[in-house]
Structures are given as C-alpha cells and as structure tokens.
Copies of this chain bind each other. A is one copy, B any other.
Amino acid sequence: MHKSRLGTIVIDCQTQDVDAAAGFWSAALGRSAMTLRNPDDAAYRGLAGAPEDVSVLVQAVQHASRVHLDIETDDIEAEVARLEALGARRIAQVKRWWVMEAPTGQRFCVVRPQRPDFEEHANIWPGPGVR
C-alpha cells in the first residue's frame, strides 16, 4: 500500500533571474514568493498558498518555458510502477525524484510529499498483488 496525489504545479521559466520570474507569478496569483530551505533548491521559489491548496513553485530552467505537474508520494518506486502500468514511461531519475512522460505527451515528476496535509488527504493505492 502507498499513497499519492497531485502535489505541486511547477512553473518552469526560461530565465537566469528566478526572482523576476517569481515576482510576476507571485503578483499574478496573489501568493507570496519565498526561497526554499534546501541550498540545492536555489533555482526555485515557492509561492505560498493555503495549506489545503495545491503547492506552486517557480523554477528557472534552460529549456523552453512551460508548466509541469508533480505527483507527490510516500513511495516513489511503487508510484512510478503504478504510473507505468497506466501507460506513462520513465524518462530520467534526478536527485530525489523521477521525471516521467504521460501517454498524452506531457512530462511530469514523481516526488516526495510536499503538501502539509498529504497524510490525511492523499489517495491510497493497494499493492500490485491486491489490484
């Protein structure tokens, strides 16, 4: 058994100035921009919202600007396998997460829990033997 759900919207911005990018999206969405605690996360800014609402991140990237989704889970390997069985495919493992591609073509990531109410509100999936 493991859990997952939609965790984060990541707004990927082709820029070297993540603060300017986060400035626009912060004002547009009415969410305060903040730096993250992990020093590895210098390319990210969080956009604070209500605890029960989806998380939003702005990321400075080198590829073309886009928006991608992160699925949060307490068992990355089990969740990646579940999504493969649904037709998604693995693209690359990066640090603590997997990049996958949906059968409809969008890239998305499978990451550790991000939202504070993950435990109470995530979807519960039975193990593969139970399906």
Contacts and interface: CB of A to CB of B under 8 A. Distances in A.
Interface of A: 4-6, 9, 11, 13-15, 21, 24-25, 27-31, 49-50, 52-54, 56, 64-69, 71, 83, 86-88, 102-106, 121-123, 125
Contact of A104 (B14, B29, B50, B88): B14
A68 B106 CA distance: 11
Contact of A28 (B68, B86, B105): B86
Given A5-B29, A54-B54, A65-B106, 11 more contacts: A6-B9, A9-B9, A14-B104, A14-B105, A21-B104, A28-B86, A28-B102, A53-B53, A65-B102, A67-B69, A67-B106
Closest 9 A-B residue pairs measured CB to CB? A30-B123, A65-B105, A13-B104, A54-B54, A67-B67, A21-B104, A6-B29, A52-B52, A27-B86
A85 to B, nearest CB: 9
Nearest to A123: B30
A53 B53 CA distance: 5
A49 B82 CA distance: 20
